[in-house]
Amino acid sequence: MAEPYSDGPWAAIPAQSSQDGSNLMPSFRIRAWTEGDKARVVVYGVVRETTSDNKTQERETQISTFVLAPGQSREVTETEQYGAAHVFVTAAGAQ
């Protein structure tokens, strides 16, 4: 897929709070597409906000982008700014 910066498809990345006893439920999304024989990966932090008319909306902020070859992994440390532990992203090869 060519550069899906908005809309789908996307996948959720589970993360744990890095703060003991915190009720924080960090939320992250990932989008990826092929660039040559590698994958471009973009990770977003997701914040839920309540609007003035009392509706809930989500705001995504890009926190990391990188390229992975099949079988490569990367630790995403930028999750710290959301009070979350690091997550790992791995590129699977074509089957």
Note whether residue 87 is domain-resident: no
Q: Please tell me the predicted confidence (pLDDT) of residue 1.
A: 47
pTM attached to this predicted model? 0.77
Domains contained in the chain, number: 1
Note whether residue 66 is domain-resident: yes
Note whether residue 6 is domain-resident: no
Report the candidate in 77, 45, 76 with the shortest Cα–Cα distance to residue 61.
45
Q: Please tell me the predicted confidence (pLDDT) of residue 51.
A: 82
Question: Which value, to the nearest 10 degrees, does the dihedral of the CA atoms of residues 50, 52, 55, 58 take?
Answer: -40
CA separation for the pair 93, 34 (Å, rounded) = 11
User: Where in the sequence is the domain holding 48, given as residue range(s)?
Assistant: 11-17+24-82
Note whether residue 91 is domain-resident: no
Q: Please tell me the predicted confidence (pLDDT) of residue 7.
A: 58
Q: Walk along the chain (95 residues) in steps of 10 and give the mean pLDDT of each run.
A: 57 71 71 89 87 85 94 94 88 71
